[in-house]
Structure 1
Amino acid sequence: MIAELLDADVPDSVAANADRLELPVVVLERAIRFVDVTEEVHSAIVADQYEEVVFSRHVHEVFTGLGMRRAEVTEIVEAAAELIDSAVVLEDLTRQVLAFAGRVTPTKDLLRDWERRSRLTPTGRETSTSGPEGWLTAPVGAHRQEWGRLVVPHPGDLGERARMPLERAAQALALHRMIEQNWTELEMRAQNGLVDDLRLGRIPDEAEATARAHALGLQPGLTYAPLTIRVVESVSADQVMAQGRLTRALDSVRHSVRGVGRTALTALRPTGQMDLILSLPASRNTDVMTEVCTGRIQLVVATP
């Protein structure tokens, strides 16, 4: 309600009734044309709508461009984080982190105790906010074939500004996997990246390295053992067949590690080398490397 009271005060009863009815009351202290008021309101509404249209178009252009050049998973996640201006995490159905973009959030804080925190936040069939921390999540994958989800741990009051880019990122990731058709490759890339970062000294902070490793499924341990396995091929071996044997060998190694209740990060090299970081329990009676090398962990590499 708008009222012109040029030479009078607003009665207390008007304010009281407005509060009771939850009715906005605007009092004008000078004469003004009604059309001037409506023009201002209309301009504000149109400006907001135009801003949303521009943002929507920008989001569309970003993810269309990423799709056209078959961008990597990390690029898609980073693009979503930049558009939302908040950290974004991609996890699989086992709560392992496959990719993330922290923006200004330190990695050790973003991924701290990730699996437990993730399990407290239920997975919905559509984009929604839930869980004790108020995570904004979007499922990734075709209907009833979801293979992961995107998470914005700190969405704040971004609303549609966060929801739209997150859903477009989820669509882009689903299309990426349809093209790749190789889920193991996606997981291996994530582990490969971490092992390379550790090997080359790119992660100076132990807390960050630990958080990333645990988020990728490496169980906490007091001892971590590095291990390298080489699959020797003849010089004349067919490269396609050799790569297939190397991949099967890696699958055998990972299966053997899981079979004895251990976890490991693995990295596959083009030279036929497999690098592992094993999480082992502390033992006063057994040297870790002795345990690994003498076969208590049966790393059987079977090649045809």
Structure 2
Amino acid sequence: MENQGGITVQRALELPGLRGGLPEVVAGADRLSRTVRWVHAGEVPNMASLLKGGELLLTTGLGLGTRPAEQRAFVRRLADRGIAALVVELGPRFSQLPTTLVETARAAGLPLVQLHREVPFVSVTEEVHTEIVNGHYALVQRADEVHRRCTQALLGGGGVPQVLSVLAEFTANPVFLETPDGQLLYAAGEGEPLQVWEGLRGHRPAGAVLVDVPGGGSGTGSVRARLALLPVSAPLAQVHRMAAERTAGILAVVLMQARQEEELAARGRGDFLTDLAEGRVSAHDAPAQARVLGFRPGDGPLLPVVMRLAAELSPSGNWAVLARAVLEELTSVGAPVLLGVRPVEGRVPLLLALRTESERTAVADRVAVALRAGVARAGLERAGAHAPIVVVGVAGGWAAASAGLR
């Protein structure tokens, strides 16, 4: 990630303080995008030992030494320390920079700048530091805006999916919420984030941002989940990490209050099944995305089923209880199942893997009984309320499953 909490060498040279010194870049002109974390001025031979890396070092050259070997060692130590650039003011010590100095800086890839006019180093330091602080404040404001939008999403009745969507939109990249051991809870972002997850599973691309969602406990309980931002569509910057850290704090509170991990996983499966039904996921791509969600049906036909709940049977936000109860009832059917929930629509879509098409009628009857039993176990039966409607589609391949889930 570029420019983490600083400005570039190029930007520092453009500020009035250094610009007034008539700066000339004599080495490392291709490295001026380096980040300046801080400015330091000094004239001692052991200057490198006083630095941490990322500094723009200002000097008149008194500590550079008089012999070529001393000058080479001075520059190499600074390069090894990782400073952003070395700026030498010409004057009594040097009327022009020694060739040894310039060649060593070029070989080390260290930007080396000579100033042809005297400048007050304190003014340069103040000016660059002000720019750095202002830049950091601007990043904080952008990250705080994401926090504000996430809070608004929650106050507007949204949940974790909406929060993740805000972050994904801000980063212009897919965002994933996973368990501490790497199991996917929810994916958000434009396009097909599940395909991204499947393609990158097992490794993280360079520049990925991982932020723990705290769990409030100690030891293994100290991390409840993990946010993963992957630079698929655009690079990730420091502001995106800052926004992710703020989002993680919001997610920690929401997950702690509502224990939404199970519901998130069920919603994620429901989103996939709805995307399949509405054509946003093709029959060709569906098997790979289903595997990400833990569904491996084998070579037999698929049986699509949709249960619709009446408005008065809504589980009042705790869809995890319903999903768990229904899944437990479905274990008696003895077939692999992918079950999701769609709270907004009051739907429970699912796919079952049959061994043969001849099983359809028997399995369909058992599934309908299991679904209604799950609703009863979840405590959703109401006197006088309409019973859940179970619609069973035609058994077949992924294309048939798509049609049967509509």
Q: For residues 253-284 of structure 1, what are the alpha-carbon distances to aligned partners after superposition, in whole Å with 9 as ceiling and x for unaligned?
A: 44335xx4624234579999854212356xxx
Whichever residue aligns with residue 175 of structure 1, its letter is V
Q: Considering only aligned residues, what root-mean-square deviation do their CA atoms show, in Å?
A: 4.5
Give the SS at the match of 1:165: helix
Name 1:12's counterpart in structure 2: 99
1:79 Cα offset (Å): 1.3
The equivalent position to 2:357 in structure 1, one of 281, 289, 299, is: 289
C-alpha distance in structure 2 between counterparts of 1:269 and 1:66, whole Å = 16
The equivalent position to 2:132 in structure 1, one of 33, 45, 64, is: 45
Contact preservation (8 Å) 1:67, 1:172: no
The answer on 1:198 being equivalent to 2:276 is: yes
Q: For residues 81-131 of structure 1, what are the alpha-carbon distances to aligned partners after superposition, in whole Å with 9 as ceiling and x for unaligned?
A: 22333221123467553322234x6546413256xx2xx46xxxxxxxxx5
Give ranges in structure 1 of 5+ residues lacking alignment. 122-130, 282-287
Identify if the C-alpha distance between structure 1 residues 297 and 184 changes in structure 2 by more than 3 Å, giving closer, same or farther. Answer: farther
Contact preservation (8 Å) 2:323, 2:340: no
The equivalent position to 1:83 in structure 2, one of 162, 170, 180, is: 170
Name 1:171's counterpart in structure 2: 249
The answer on 1:252 being equivalent to 2:339 is: no
The answer on 1:74 being equivalent to 2:161 is: yes
Name 1:180's counterpart in structure 2: 258
Contact preservation (8 Å) 1:203, 1:209: no
Identify if the C-alpha distance between structure 1 residues 38 and 252 changes in structure 2 by more than 3 Å, giving closer, same or farther. Answer: closer
**How does 1:266-285 map onto structure 2 within 5 Å?**
266-267=340-341, 275-280=349-354
The answer on 1:62 being equivalent to 2:62 is: no
Name 2:33's counterpart in structure 1: none
Contact preservation (8 Å) 2:338, 2:350: yes
Aligned residues: 276
C-alpha distance in structure 2 between counterparts of 1:94 and 1:25, whole Å = 46
Give the SS at the match of 2:198: coil
Give the SS at the match of 1:86: coil
The answer on 1:137 being equivalent to 2:199 is: no
Contact preservation (8 Å) 1:224, 1:280: yes
1:5 Cα offset (Å): 5.0
C-alpha distance in structure 2 between counterparts of 1:212 and 1:262, whole Å = 16
C-alpha distance in structure 1 between counterparts of 2:343 and 2:133, whole Å = 56
C-alpha distance in structure 1 between counterparts of 2:146 and 2:349, whole Å = 39
The equivalent position to 2:240 in structure 1, one of 162, 165, 188, is: 162
Q: For residues 114-151 of structure 1, what are the alpha-carbon distances to aligned partners after superposition, in whole Å with 9 as ceiling and x for unaligned?
A: 6xx2xx46xxxxxxxxx576643223351344443221
C-alpha distance in structure 2 between counterparts of 1:53 and 1:255, whole Å = 49
1:51 Cα offset (Å): 1.8
1:194 Cα offset (Å): 2.4
Identify if the C-alpha distance between structure 1 residues 240 and 91 changes in structure 2 by more than 3 Å, giving closer, same or farther. Answer: closer
1:182 Cα offset (Å): 5.1
The equivalent position to 2:185 in structure 1, one of 79, 98, 115, is: 98
C-alpha distance in structure 2 between counterparts of 1:133 and 1:86, whole Å = 14
C-alpha distance in structure 2 between counterparts of 1:109 and 1:13, whole Å = 54
C-alpha distance in structure 2 between counterparts of 1:271 and 1:71, whole Å = 14
Q: For residues 21-80 of structure 1, what are the alpha-carbon distances to aligned partners after superposition, in whole Å with 9 as ceiling and x for unaligned?
A: 998753112344546534542343233233233224323323332343342222111111
Contact preservation (8 Å) 2:143, 2:240: no
Give the SS at the match of 1:30: coil
Whichever residue aligns with residue 91 of structure 1, its letter is E
Name 2:198's counterpart in structure 1: 112
Q: For residues 186-207 of structure 1, what are the alpha-carbon distances to aligned partners after superposition, in whole Å with 9 as ceiling and x for unaligned?
A: 33322222223333x2415334
Identify if the C-alpha distance between structure 1 residues 256 and 37 changes in structure 2 by more than 3 Å, giving closer, same or farther. Answer: same
Give ranges in structure 2 of 5+ residues lacking alignment. 1-58, 60-87, 378-406
C-alpha distance in structure 1 between counterparts of 2:117 and 2:286, whole Å = 65
Q: How high is the TM-score relative to the length of structure 2?
A: 0.53
C-alpha distance in structure 2 between counterparts of 1:272 and 1:59, whole Å = 30
